[in-house]
């Protein structure tokens, strides 16, 4: 069974810092990996989706990388801002042969960016 771990569980940084959030998964046979952010009391917002054949995806100040063979993904946030404060969730989708719709979530990294 796929297990997803996110480190650190919480992170508090001053505005302007570049950040790296880590995600690891136990079964490297994934179809793709999706990063989300969750604001308090709100739903999940999809940030980036990386297919298993890709090494990285970029959106604005966000860059997500994927090393499938080692079971790792990182989310890089450049020039962090207070508005980036949220919980960041990593989720993996099992590879073909399994039910593709099933997402396995990590427990998230709670990020606080202070001015």
Partner 1 sequence: DTAVSQTPKYLVTQMGNDKSIKCEQNLGHDTMYWYKQDSKKFLKIMFSYNNKELIINETVPNRFSPKSPDKAHLNLHINSLELGDSAVYFCASSQEEGDEQFFGPGTRLTVL
If one asks whether residue 53 binds partner 1 (CB under 8 A), the answer comes out as no
If one asks whether residue 99 binds partner 1 (CB under 8 A), the answer comes out as yes
- Cβ-Cβ contacts under 8 Å for 1 (sequence gap 6 or more): 27
Q: Is 13 or 44 the residue whose CB approaches partner 1 more closely?
A: 44
If one asks whether residue 34 binds partner 1 (CB under 8 A), the answer comes out as yes
Of 57, 67, 55, nearest in space to 28 by CA: 67
Query: Between residue 60 and residue 79, which ones bind partner 1 under the rule CB under 8 A?
Result: none
Is the peptide bond preceding residue 60 cis, with omega within 30 degrees of 0? Answer: no
If one asks whether residue 102 binds partner 1 (CB under 8 A), the answer comes out as yes
């Amino acid at each position: 069974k796929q297990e997803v771990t996110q480190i650190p569980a919480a992170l508090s940084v001053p505005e302007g810092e570049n950040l790296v959030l880590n995600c690891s998964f136990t079964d490297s046979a994934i179809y793709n990996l999706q990063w989300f952010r969750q604001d308090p009391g709100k739903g999940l917002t999809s940030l980036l989706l990386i297919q298993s054949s890709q090494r990285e995806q970029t959106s604005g100040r966000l860059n997500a990388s994927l090393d499938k063979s080692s079971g790792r993904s990182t989310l890089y946030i450049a020039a962090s801002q207070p508005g980036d404060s949220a919980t960041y969730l990593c989720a993996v989708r099992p590879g073909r042969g399994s039910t593709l719709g099933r997402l396995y979530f990590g427990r998230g990294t709670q990020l606080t960016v202070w001015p």
